[in-house]
Amino acid sequence: MQNFGAFVSHYGVDNHGIKNPGTVYWNLTTSMLYEHVTRRDEGKIAHLGPLVVQTGGHTGRSPNDRFVVKEPGSESQIWWGKVNRPFSQENFDYLYRKMLAYVQNRDIYVFDGYVGADPKFRMPVRIITEYAWHNLFARNMFIRELDPEKLRNHVPQFTVIDMPRLKAEPEQDGTNSQTFILVDFGRRLVLIGGTEYAGEIKKSIFTAMNYFMPQQGVMSMHCSANFGKDRDDVALFFGLSGTGKTTLSSDPSRTLIGDDEHGWSDEGVFNYEGGCYAKVIRLDPKGEPEIYETTRKFGTILENVILDNSTRRVDLNDGSLTENTRSSYPISHVSNAVRDGMGGHPNNVFFLTADAFGVLPPIARLTNEQAMYHFLSGYTAKVAGTERGVTEPQPNFSTCFGAPFMPLRPGIYAELLGDKIKKHGAKVWLINTGWTGGPYGVGNRMKLAHTRRMIAAALNGELDDVPMIEEPFFGLSVPQAMQDVPSEVLNPRNTWSDPEAYDAQAQRLVGMFKENFKQFEENVSEEIKAAGPR
């Protein structure tokens, strides 16, 4: 085994069972990784410096190929079911041995860093990859260690081994397909194979934090975060991919804490990551200038974005490979991001939903009980491309606005969030970034300018004294009027050409909410149950 790099950890890869690899490249700089990517023909350098790569057949996550190892240390705590499906220790061991054999005589890349900006809760991680560009992805997405001596003494508390070209044999290995994402909380280890989609690395680490942080009293959240004039004016934006977390938190008038994953401790909010992972399909340089600028910078990775081989210019409007085109970039690419990734306690919490039915109002103030109901429901739409087989938005209930990454029972996250909202007096808002004037295919997507204006009104206290009306289906408090937002937009029924069709669609969605919430009814208060739709 040959180690290469200025920052080789004394805790070598042999501690992970890896023996006889080719060259192990340790903690390479961005420039060095660029050289490896181009030399190995893993990607191409575009105009102005971003790296353009393709992820093959997997252009989104593969939730049906993700399993949690059933082991004594975590078995009683896991929320077993469709999301967290059990995988035997025997099958895990077999695939692990297969992976260790696969690594022999192959060059691999190691990134050592952290997840969690708050030093009190920071977890040292190690990402071992087959591809150089996956290692650059890890370098972008996680928190780097800048002290050479600490890097050389780095000992990970959680490790991901990512070998895309290693494919499982389902009948032999116990997997659903040739793809596998296996999470073992006992060994603090994730094995990934059969997929080149780098997002699996990021979400595996997020899943680990969602397991470990609540056990330390930290609310683990699938949300973006920013603050206003000072760190005590924090806003959170919960939502699944495509609902607007990155877009709405990237506000030039506010300071970005992070775009996707955070913890909320007794001292405030902190980012888990050191980078951002934004959707860039049809990115508007005028409407989203901060994100657009990152697509034109050295160090950014553009996934499945179409590149003109003659001019080396990218076309962000071309979705021929996938609607889920992505940009991975270090948070230092964002001029108004706070470098330490920390803020105070939130004053405002926004639940973002992309309502494919076109029923929910664009903004509504929630009571604490309604907040818990909608947090547990996690209603949104799966957006095209974020998962395999999803080609258009589909109604989806994702508990805690992030069920695919939540290993513990939903009540644990809901209780933590409810306690913190109540303790710190945060206002909670439901924001529909989805459709209005009709369902998907008939209506139109909510205008970003209107959504930004409504959020600004909520943040600056403009809505505190505005008269509210109670919409009839969900009992939500909706502002009667707002500057720069047409009054008919605030009442979605008024945007439909056929109000009776709206009523029928609303009743249909009410039924879906009630059916979904049956799974929680035994474990919530009567007040929370009563906070649902009529």
SS3 356: coil
CA distance 108 to 135: 9
Active site residue 167: no
Active site annotation includes 126: no
Catalytic position from the list 66, 134, 167, 203: 203
- 61 belongs to the catalytic site: yes
Helix axes of 132-141 and 30-39: crossing angle, nearest 10 degrees: 150
The answer to whether residue 300 is catalytic is no
Exactly one of 245, 388, 427, 453 is catalytic; name it. Answer: 245
**Number of helices and strands (H, E) in the chain?**
14, 32
The residue annotated as part of the active site, out of 16, 36, 61, 493, is 61
262 among known catalytic residues? no
223, 248 in Cβ contact below 8 A? no
Residue 246 catalytic? yes
Phi, psi for residue 165 in degrees, rounded to 5: -85, -5
- Active-site position among 241, 295, 398, 451: 241
> Active site residue: 224, 246, 325, 353, which one?
246
Residue of 222, 333, 345, 427 marked active site: 222
Options 65, 251, 260, 355, the catalytic residue: 260
Cα–Cα distance measured from residue 397 to residue 377, given in angstroms and rounded to the nearest whole number = 6
Sheet with 301-303: strands ordered across = 44-45, 51-53, 301-303, 326-330, 275-279
Single out the catalytic residue among 98, 167, 326, 420.
Answer: 326
Buried b (16+ CB within 10 A) or exposed e, 177-197: eebbbbbbbebbbbbbbbbbb
Contact call for residues 123 and 114 (beta carbons, < 8 A): yes
525 is catalytic: no
Annotation says 297 is catalytic: no
Residue located via tokens 């409007």: 317
Query: What is the chain's Cα-based Rg?
Result: 23
| 246 and 259 Cβ atoms separated by less than 8 Å | yes
Report the distance separating Cα 111 and Cα 28, nearest Å.
8
Closest CA to 232 of 345, 340, 342: 345
Active site residues: 61, 203, 222, 241, 245-246, 260, 326
